[in-house]
Amino acid sequence: MTKRERLIDRFKSCTGTFLYRDFVSMMGGLGYELHMENGSRRRFVHRDTKHIVRLHEPHPQKEMKAYMVKLVREQLIDKGVI
């Protein structure tokens, strides 16, 4: 099992917080490009489908809260990405 597969499995089963840097790495492996917007806003755009995931980079802590993990996970599952 590759590092990317382990990250995806961990993200899919996550019920708490998830490190933002691991999320960025996972999204890159899934074909998403990170675009910086104003302030802490971030946009991940899939290279092929142009699917967009928008969120705020967590700060000062570096962990995504459980509700954000759940929302993004549902989007990725609905699109068939994970």
Are the C-beta atoms of 34 and 54 separated by less than 8 Å?
no
Per the structure, the count of domains in the chain is 1
Give me the pLDDT at residue 50, please: 96
Give me the pLDDT at residue 1, please: 82
Residue-wise pLDDT tens digits, 2-40: 998 999 999 999 999 999 999 999 999 999 999 999 999
Phi, psi dihedral angles at 37 (to 5 degrees): -115, -165
CA 63 – CA 18 distance, rounded (Å):
5
Residue 70's domain comprises: 3-78
Residue-wise pLDDT tens digits, 33-69: 999 999 999 999 999 999 999 999 999 999 999 999 9
CATH number, domain containing residue 57: 3.30.920.30
